[in-house]
């Protein structure tokens, strides 16, 4: 069999962020139209902090069915290895033929930032111009890249577990983004209180962002916690927000940010106002005024990966 394979370098070169943002907007419109199917990921724990995820999906408009197979090893950043490593395999819906395989590490990196950009464009204030990044790894880098595609950002506050890491992140990005002032922060509060947009992109099991730090009008992308036992937002943060997610099924199964305050009796399930598909299609109103705090909870969907891989394999 003559198998088409796209390496990490090829994916990163071809899947440019603005292209991926458009692809992700199309994916969520297709969700709204019922042209996609997505299964909640199946997780095989390897050891604490290490898992294998299997994520199947079907994209009828691309005649593609397939799955992402991915390891998530949260401590890999200490070894300078990606936390997510895997592949995305795409098959034809017509005859089941394997169309090809793409590096899943690169697709995960780019599409996650791109999905947050779609949500931010719909939920953040139009004049939002300051960004706080909680975490300084691959997703902090990708969110900086993607959010600067949808808002004119002039200051980025960075908080990592150590000030040295925050400073290293700032230093590594100053040259690439000359119009942005980078401010490493010793305390999470200092990052949050100055930001119009906050992205939490850490593997923390416990809250890194407190609701009392968040000013009115802020938009939050909560990206790092993808299991019911993990959370990056404290309960106040979720309770005070207009709360949206990528998929209701994933949110109810995998979002500690949402499920902890539900279990504490602070909110009911109807606190979840809608999915990104509802926002993209205009079925649900996102922000109602400049004072609202909005949250987009990203759990990560197979259809996002498959849409990227199907597009890359056609190119």
Q: In the complex, which residues of this chain contact ligand NAD (CB under 6 A)? A: 72, 76-77, 83-84, 108, 112, 135-139, 160-161, 165, 201-204, 208, 223-224, 226, 298-300
> Mapping DSSP to helix (H, G, I), strand (E, B) and coil, where does residue 63 land?
coil
Alpha-carbon distance of 230 to 227, in angstroms, equals 5
The CA-atom distances, in angstroms, between 63 and each of 32, 57, 100 are: 18, 11, 13
Going by the DSSP 8-state scheme, the letter that residue 179 receives in this structure is T
Cβ 63 to ligand NAD shortest distance, Å = 25
Cβ 85 to ligand NAD shortest distance, Å = 10
H helices of 124-162, in order, are: 138-150
Which CB, 136 or 184, lies closer to ligand NAD?
136
Bridge-based pairing state of the strands 36-38 and 50-59 = antiparallel
Cβ 143 to ligand NAD shortest distance, Å = 9
Which CB, 30 or 223, lies closer to ligand NAD?
223
CA atoms 56, 255, 202, 206: torsion sign: negative
Cβ 265 to ligand NAD shortest distance, Å = 26
Alpha-carbon distance of 172 to 147, in angstroms, equals 17
Cβ 130 to ligand NAD shortest distance, Å = 20
The dihedral region occupied by 40, where left means phi > 0, alpha psi between -120 and 50, and beta the remainder, is beta
Cβ 284 to ligand NAD shortest distance, Å = 21
Element housing 163 (H / E): helix 163-174
Which CB, 17 or 125, lies closer to ligand NAD?
17
The CA-atom distances, in angstroms, between 224 and each of 28, 184, 206, 243 are: 20, 20, 11, 16
Which CB, 100 or 300, lies closer to ligand NAD?
300
Cβ 296 to ligand NAD shortest distance, Å = 10
CA 229-205-44 angle, to 5 degrees, is 55
Cβ 261 to ligand NAD shortest distance, Å = 19
Which CB, 6 or 276, lies closer to ligand NAD?
276
Alpha-carbon distance of 130 to 149, in angstroms, equals 14
Which CB, 99 or 297, lies closer to ligand NAD?
297
Closest CA to 23 of 111, 133, 94: 111
Which CB, 83 or 218, lies closer to ligand NAD?
83
Closest CA to 143 of 183, 111, 190, 172: 111
In the bound state, the residue with its beta carbon closest to ligand NAD is: 137
Cβ 216 to ligand NAD shortest distance, Å = 25
Which CB, 143 or 242, lies closer to ligand NAD?
143
Q: Give the torsion through C-alpha atoms of 176, 209, 123, 21, to 10 deg.
A: 40
Which CB, 134 or 311, lies closer to ligand NAD?
134
């Amino acid at each position: 069999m003559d198998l088409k394979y796209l390496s990490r370098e090829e994916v990163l070169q071809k899947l440019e962020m603005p292209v991926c943002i458009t692809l992700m907007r199309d994916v969520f419109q297709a969700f709204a139209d019922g042209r996609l199917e997505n299964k909640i990921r199946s997780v095989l724990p390897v050891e604490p902090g290490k898992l294998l995820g299997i994520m199947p999906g079907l994209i009828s408009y691309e005649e593609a069915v397939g799955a992402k197979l991915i390891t998530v090893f949260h401590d890999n950043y200490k070894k300078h290895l990606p936390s997510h490593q895997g592949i995305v395999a795409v098959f034809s819906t017509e005859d089941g033929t394997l169309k090809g395989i793409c590096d899943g590490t690169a697709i995960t990196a780019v599409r996650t930032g791109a999905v947050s950009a779609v949500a931010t464009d719909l939920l953040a204030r139009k004049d939002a111009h300051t960004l706080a990044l909680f975490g300084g790894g691959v997703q902090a880098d990708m969110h900086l890249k993607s959010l600067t595609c949808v808002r004119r950002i002039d200051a980025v506050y960075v908080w990592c577990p150590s000030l040295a890491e925050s400073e290293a992140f700032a230093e590594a990005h100053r040259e690439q983004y000359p119009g942005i002032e980078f401010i490493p922060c010793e305390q999470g509060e200092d990052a949050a209180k100055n930001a119009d947009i906050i992205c939490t992109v850490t593997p923390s099991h416990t809250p890194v962002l407190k609701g009392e730090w968040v000013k009115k009008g802020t938009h939050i992308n909560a990206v790092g916690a993808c299991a019911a036992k993990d959370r990056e937002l404290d309960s106040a943060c979720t309770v005070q927000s207009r709360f949206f997610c990528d998929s209701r099924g994933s949110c109810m199964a995998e979002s500690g940010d949402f499920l902890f305050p539900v279990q504490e009796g602070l909110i009911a399930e109807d606190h979840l106002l809608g999915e990104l598909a509802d926002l993209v299609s205009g079925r649900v109103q996102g922000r109602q005024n400049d004072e609202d705090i909005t949250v987009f909870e990203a759990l990560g969907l197979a259809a996002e990966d498959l849409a990227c891989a199907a597009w890359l394999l056609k190119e």
